[in-house]
Structure 1
Amino acid sequence: MPNASARPKHGRRARRRRREDPARNELVSSSLESAQQCLFNQDYGTAFVHYLLVLNLAPVFKDFAKESFRFTLFKWTEELDSVGRIQDLFDCYEQALELFPADEVILNSMGEHLFRMGFRDEAAGHFHKALKLRPDYPEARENFYRVANWLVERWHFLMLNDRGRNRKYQQAIQKAVQSGCNTVLDIGTGTGILGMCAKKAGAAEVYACELSKTMYELACEVVTANGMDGCIKILHMKSLEMEVPKDIPHRVSLVVTETVDAGLFGEGIIESLIHAWRHLLLPPQRGENEFQEQSATGRVIPAGATVFGMAVECLEIRRHHRLCVSEVGSLSLAAAGELRSPVSCSSEPDDSMEPYTTERLSRLPGGYKPLTEPFTALNIDFNNVQELEGLSSREVQKIHLPVTQEGELDALAVWFQLHLDEESSLSTGPQEDTCWEQAIYPVHSTKGFLLKPLDELIVEVSCRDAYLRLCSVAVLRDGHEIRLDKRVDSQYTGNPISNQNPEAELCSALACLQTNQNQTKDFSMLECSEMALLNNHDYHQSFCSALAKLMSQLKVKWQNQERGSGVQSDSSDLLYVLDVSEGFSLLSLIAASHGHVKAYSSVEKKKQQEVLKRLARSNNIPEQHLEFWLNHVDDEHGILQRPSREKLWSAIILDCVETCGLIRQKLMEKASLARCLLEEGGRIFPEKIVVHGMLVESDTLLLESAVQGQEPTLGFNIAPFINQFTVPVHVFLDFSTLECRHLSECVELFVLDLMDATANYTNREVKVQATSAGRITAIPFWYHIYLDQEISVSTLSKNSHWKQAAVVLQQPLEVQAGDWVRLAVKLHKSTISMSAHIDNETRPMEQ
């Protein structure tokens, strides 16, 4: 045996040193010097090229030039991004990663660009690589948490935790396989659970397809971990692209799928099943009298569905989809034109509008009132290909619904019963304990119009574009038809017809609806959260009061300075206010309405800018006192610059909290910049944000955040794989309707001071006393946003357009009443994290 400890011998060739190349060294030296000079001159593109040359020719300089190279890369790609040279941007990152393949900072930065461009799978891959290289890298972890919500949507956890749903699917698949369906295709396999049910039931061949790269890779891991690798063939593709024998060797006898959303057809189940019947499935059974081998026929699970609907009154839906107020912050909205959300159940399909949104009716703050009994909107047989093919050409169905309670029509709520086979079904109804939400078809055109018992609501049901569309078109009252699918006049909405006698009521409704049916030229679309914000009177009134106080203080200061100096200021001098809110905001207009103020608005969309201009004119605000600064970002006085000459901003309004309940990214950096741009006595709005929270026990949050072991997933080992995509913070939470037990009082968790950087910190320990015994599973949190020391708004208020968020603990913490819990609260950039443990020093010793 050779001597393993002997030193390896080196031949002469191995010891020979490379000869110096003077020309090469000169090129490297001059290029390095040029790179540094270009960097000094902010010529990042040329600097990047020089660095590439240096590091390719002389890798020995990698450690020396790494930081400068990174900085150059990021600055140059920012420039490329700003001018839309996206391919060049990614080429630069590829070149950088060839030089530094294990650089977590470059990987993370490329992931950020990929995510912004919509390449979520690829972005997640880069964040994941960065975390593997450096598990404590907070930027990559924060980014991975954000992208995880896109890659594995939170309903996956609820669905997999729904043992009743999983068990019913398993039983239906088992019956089908035992009756002769020996070859199975699982369309949209997700984690692979339905395909594994088929294999466990004894299917000879199981195929599955999944479009999402993330879910495809996850399904492959799950199948392998459950000992079925090689038994189930998983394809990374849409079922619509599958062919026989290219992708699967022959037609299958059973298709299983759950590619249905709250509106049943929104995930494309009709198109995929038509394609499956034409190309992937054996033909269906012809009938009892015709001889045909059972094994030679095809079928689908689920076998079909029945869709139900109901008209409802619901303030929470109303305020997210149409204008409910006539003024905000002393501004009249009469000239705003028609404002509505991008969700419309119009009888005329519009590509710019979504036909429905989704809500869990049982969790809506304020609840809802049924105005009609539930009605059957549609029946569909997934095993009848002719019926599937004819769905889009079905005649529009008109359904007459007797009104059972008086109320304002806000929406049609829709759910369905999914028939897995002849014996078993799943319901997504609002009273069911299910992982499903309901589809909501909001009504925009009936503001102030009350439905009454003895009315009949006429609803049209259609599927012309493979979406289920429901539209409230008219009301039958006293033998007369009142059309609802036209715009309602503001004069009419200000005088509810319920206050008149029936004849006058009917005439008023008809006259107003007919008079204004063509007045839709001023229509403008707002996001649902923007609409809810616009309807938040208290929010705008608070800003109005805080701005008025500041303007008054600054004007007094100017007057005192004039008296002290004896010099009268130019009467044309104005106070300057900059609003950098996200999306549609009236705050700039509210500031301008105080007089002697020039306001710069963040509103970017042209139609929304026209709304603000109309409101400015109608509220007697001079046109020159309102500008849109995003229209001038390329100008000398662009974003966050001095407004004119030596003047600075009197107020800068920052948008601090995302609708989902998180602090906006880079908020503290923006606040730091804003402080430098304020005039003496000027202010950032808000000046301070106080984070409040509470200890709770909530099984619901656990079920929505992670798969809870193998029991709900029928014994299959799925949890460890999908739980890689759990995130510590649950967002878009309605705390007022969350099923939970409060285990403590509300406490102050953290303070962000936007006006005083020296008052801020990154870590804080908070002691909270448990008021009840239980398991702490989560810490919901929300914000009190202080515009000044006296005026604040809360993201927990019932009129808030914000939702709340909650940190979900990885391991529930058992507490007794009276226990003190130590919360470690941390802020990194704009991300809040928390951990909890029992304070043993304050817990009494057991006797």
Structure 2
Amino acid sequence: MKSTDIRDDLELGAFLSWGRELHHQGRYEDAVRAFELILGLDRDNEEALIGRNRAVRRAVPRWHWEMLHDEERAELYDRAIRQAVAAAPEALVLDIGAGSGLLAMMAARAGARQVVACEGQPSVAGTTSRVVRVAGYDDAVSVVSKMSTRMTVPEDLPRRADLLVTEIVDCALLGEGILGTIAHAREHLLTPEATIMPSRGRIIAQLVESEPLHRKNHVGKLYGFDLAPFNRLSTLEYFDSRLHRHEHRALSDPLTVFDFDFYTADARPQRTELRVRPTAAGKMHAVAFWFEMELLPGITIDNAPGHDSHWKQAIQCLPAPLHVQPGEPVVLDASHDGESVRFQVVDGVGS
């Protein structure tokens, strides 16, 4: 073996060790870049290919693929985008949280001449540029690899945008920071007359009885042991789950908890007290909640139970079940801190 070959092998080995160490430190984007340096020298290096993919898998959530196959979501956004672009074909479109670039390309396909797609996750942004180029829309769509709250005019946008398109919502609407992100965009990135999509959003909740859902967040005596102390690690807030896949019974009608106008809303915390009238007697194990978004007037999208939405529903379990009866309202304290919704029972004793 030549000395240059030995030196190259040593350098590749050092880069591989560096990439693995970055991964172990949780610096996944840095690990991606380290492994890409190796692939620049040896594009078929299997260790680098696997290392890069492992780091990307940590940095890029798996829900991207399920979301892209959510046909109802895509069709409703496409309809709303076509309508908005048709009304203002010269509009500069800003897509925040662009992901694959799908909504940005929908805007270009609808006739928008200039679209800026903002994506804060570097690995995704780099791939988005490639997707846009392969699809043949790179003459209309430019990708900015940056959080929108760090964008400025004219550095990242040639001028303030006339149409904002975004879908930075989780199963409970607020978890990806939509309130603060849109409020920042209104102040720094949009014209005063800009169209904002979605225009409104509301959170809807319902009391449910479901032992299977309760078991997803609580444990007691099992296998001859009292495992209840492990509950100190259970979530105090919500988790996502498909309600219809768990045996459950609705104990109340759905009711609106929070209603947001994205033309005026900001991320300041809110609190409200709800008097919920049970429609049936039973054991209340959880509050199930979901959202409804108005993209444009007359075009709405939601993740209500029963819909095969990739968003699922938000579930917050009570610390202990609560017996409820019709005619005896359950008082809930509902609050959000701009990003997370939480419920607490004000009246009643768990049993």
Q: SS of the residue aligned with 1:358? A: strand
Q: SS of the residue aligned with 2:202? A: strand
The equivalent of 1:300 in structure 2 is 196
Deviations 1:339-358 (A, max 9, x none): 333421xxxxxxxxxx3211
**Mapped contact 2:169–2:178 kept (Cα < 8 A):** yes
Q: SS of the residue aligned with 1:433? A: coil
Question: 1:441 and 1:330, CA in 2 relative to 1: closer, same or farther beyond 3 A?
Answer: closer
**Mapped contact 2:56–2:123 kept (Cα < 8 A):** no
Alignment of 1:308-457 (within 5 A): 308-325=204-221, 328=222, 330-331=224-225, 336=229, 339-344=231-236, 355-364=237-246, 367-383=247-263, 385=264, 388-389=265-266, 392=268, 394=270, 396-444=271-319, 446-447=320-321, 449-457=322-330
The equivalent of 2:342 in structure 1 is 470
The equivalent of 1:34 in structure 2 is none
The equivalent of 1:211 in structure 2 is 120
CA distance in 1, matches of 2:244, 2:33: 37
The equivalent of 1:282 in structure 2 is 191
Query: Which structure's residues are more often strand, by fraction?
Result: 2
Task: Note if 1:224 corresponds to 2:116.
Answer: no
The equivalent of 1:149 in structure 2 is 57
> What is the aligned counterpart of 1:249 among 158, 161, 166?
158
Deviations 1:739-792 (A, max 9, x none): xxxxxxxxxxxxxxxxxxxxxxxxxxxxxxxxxxxxxxxxxxxxxxxxxxxxxx
CA distance in 1, matches of 2:269, 2:31: 41
Question: 1:310 and 1:333, CA in 2 relative to 1: closer, same or farther beyond 3 A?
Answer: same
**Mapped contact 2:269–2:338 kept (Cα < 8 A):** no
Deviations 1:685-727 (A, max 9, x none): xxxxxxxxxxxxxxxxxxxxxxxxxxxxxxxxxxxxxxxxxxx
**Mapped contact 1:412–1:470 kept (Cα < 8 A):** no
CA distance in 2, matches of 1:410, 1:112: 43
**Mapped contact 1:361–1:430 kept (Cα < 8 A):** yes
**Mapped contact 1:322–1:341 kept (Cα < 8 A):** no
The one-letter code of the counterpart of 1:228 is: Y
| Displacement of 1:270 | 0.8
Q: SS of the residue aligned with 2:275? A: strand
Deviations 1:66-118 (A, max 9, x none): 7xxxxxxxxxxxxxxxxxxxxxxxxxxxxxx8x845x2x44443222112222
Question: 1:437 and 1:109, CA in 2 relative to 1: closer, same or farther beyond 3 A?
Answer: farther
Task: Note if 1:173 corresponds to 2:56.
Answer: no
Deviations 1:139-175 (A, max 9, x none): 5555455434333322211221122211211111111
| Displacement of 1:127 | 4.4
CA distance in 2, matches of 1:315, 1:264: 25
| Displacement of 1:298 | 0.7
Task: Note if 1:188 corresponds to 2:106.
Answer: no
**Mapped contact 2:334–2:344 kept (Cα < 8 A):** no
The one-letter code of the counterpart of 2:235 is: V
CA distance in 2, matches of 1:302, 1:472: 29
| Displacement of 1:437 | 1.3
CA distance in 2, matches of 1:363, 1:130: 45
| Displacement of 1:279 | 0.9
The equivalent of 2:19 in structure 1 is 111
The one-letter code of the counterpart of 1:312 is: V
The equivalent of 1:619 in structure 2 is none
TM-score (norm 2): 0.89
Q: SS of the residue aligned with 1:458? A: strand
CA distance in 2, matches of 1:134, 1:204: 37
Where does structure 2 lack aligned partners over 5 or more consecutive residues?
Answer: none
TM-score (norm 1): 0.39
RMSD (Å) for aligned C-alpha atoms: 2.7
The equivalent of 2:66 in structure 1 is 158
| Displacement of 1:136 | 7.6
Q: SS of the residue aligned with 2:203? A: strand
The one-letter code of the counterpart of 1:404 is: T
Alignment of 1:456-605 (within 5 A): 456-463=329-336, 465-475=337-347, 482=348, 484=349
The one-letter code of the counterpart of 2:253 is: E
Question: 1:108 and 1:437, CA in 2 relative to 1: closer, same or farther beyond 3 A?
Answer: farther
| Displacement of 1:126 | 4.1
| Displacement of 1:256 | 0.4
Deviations 1:209-268 (A, max 9, x none): 111111100110011112222322211111101111222121111110001111111111
| Bigger Rg, which one | 1
**Mapped contact 2:333–2:346 kept (Cα < 8 A):** no
| Displacement of 1:130 | 5.6
CA distance in 1, matches of 2:235, 2:66: 25
**Mapped contact 2:303–2:311 kept (Cα < 8 A):** yes
| Displacement of 1:184 | 0.7
Q: SS of the residue aligned with 1:255? A: strand
Q: SS of the residue aligned with 1:308? A: strand
CA distance in 2, matches of 1:332, 1:416: 38
The one-letter code of the counterpart of 2:187 is: R
CA distance in 2, matches of 1:333, 1:343: 16
Deviations 1:433-490 (A, max 9, x none): 222111111211x24x422333321112223x20342323234xxxxxx3x5xxx6xx
The one-letter code of the counterpart of 1:379 is: D
Question: 1:60 and 1:264, CA in 2 relative to 1: closer, same or farther beyond 3 A?
Answer: same
Question: 1:454 and 1:231, CA in 2 relative to 1: closer, same or farther beyond 3 A?
Answer: same
- Runs in 1 of length 4+ with deviation above 6 angstroms? none
The equivalent of 1:267 in structure 2 is 176
**Mapped contact 2:173–2:291 kept (Cα < 8 A):** yes
Task: Figure out how many residues of one structure are paired with residues of the other and give that number.
Answer: 349
CA distance in 1, matches of 2:150, 2:45: 41
Question: 1:323 and 1:331, CA in 2 relative to 1: closer, same or farther beyond 3 A?
Answer: closer
